[in-house]
Amino acid sequence: MHSNPSQIELEIIETILINVYDPEIEIDIVNLGLVYDVKFNGYNQVTVTMTLSTPSCPLGDSIVQDVKESIKRSYPDFEVAVNLVFEPQWHQGMITPEGKEMLGMI
C-alpha cells in the first residue's frame, strides 16, 4: 500500500491531467473544471470522476482515452477507471481563473 494516497491523487491532477487537452477547446481539462474528483484506493486503483463541456461532445471518447492512457504512462501498474457524469452540470463557475483567461473571459 502506498504511504500517501492523497499525494498521488494530487500528482495525478497537477502533473498528468493538466496535460490532457480538450482537442476542440484547446484548454486542459483541469483548468476547464471538467475533473470533479480523483480517488486512489491506496493500492493500484484510480478512479477519475469527470464531465464534458456538453453531453453531445463528439470528442468525448478521445478525452476519456487520453485520461486513462496518460495516467497509465506514469503508473503502468495502476487500473484506471473514468466515471463520466453529467450531474452536477458543468458551468462556467467551475473554470479556474487560468482557464477563464485562456478562454478570453477575463
Partner 1 sequence: MTGLQTTNAPSHKIVIPHFVTGSLAFLISMILLFFTADEWMNLYFSPKLIAIVHVLVLGWGTMIAFGALYQLIPVVYETSLYSEKLAKVTFLVYSFSVVFLSYAFWMASFSQLLFYASLAMFLALMLFIANLSLTYRKRTKSNISSRFITTALFWLALTVIVGTLTALNFKYQFFNHSHLQYLKIHAHIGLIGWFVMLIIGASSILIPMFVISHQTNTKKLNLSYVLINMGLIGLSVNWFLDSNQIIELVMILSIVLGILNYLRYVYLVFKSRIRKVLDTAMKLTFISLLIMLFTLIIIGILTGFHWFKIPTMSIVLMYGSSIIIGFISTIILGQIYKTLPFIVWLKVYQPYVGKFKTPLPRELYSEEWMKIQMYVYLIGLAIFVNGIIFQQLIIIKIGISLLIITATINLINVIKITFHQQKLTSIN
Catalog residues that contact partner 1 under the rule CB under 8 A: 20-21, 23-26, 52-62, 64-70, 72-73, 84, 86, 89, 91-92, 95, 103-105
Closest CB to partner 1 among 42 and 55?
A: 55
Least CB distance to partner 1 at residue 3 (A): 26
Element (H, E) at 100: helix 97-102
C-beta closer to partner 1: residue 39 or 72? 72
Backbone angles phi, psi at 89, to 5 degrees: -70, 135
Q: Which is nearer to partner 1, 4 or 105 (CB)?
A: 105
- CB under 8 Å to 41, separation ≥6 — which residues? 5, 47
Give me the least distance between CB of 48 and partner 1, in Å please.
Answer: 13
CB nearer to partner 1: give 9 or 64. Answer: 64
The CA distance from 52 to 64, in Å, is 10
Q: Are 18 and 30 in contact (CB under 8 A)?
A: yes
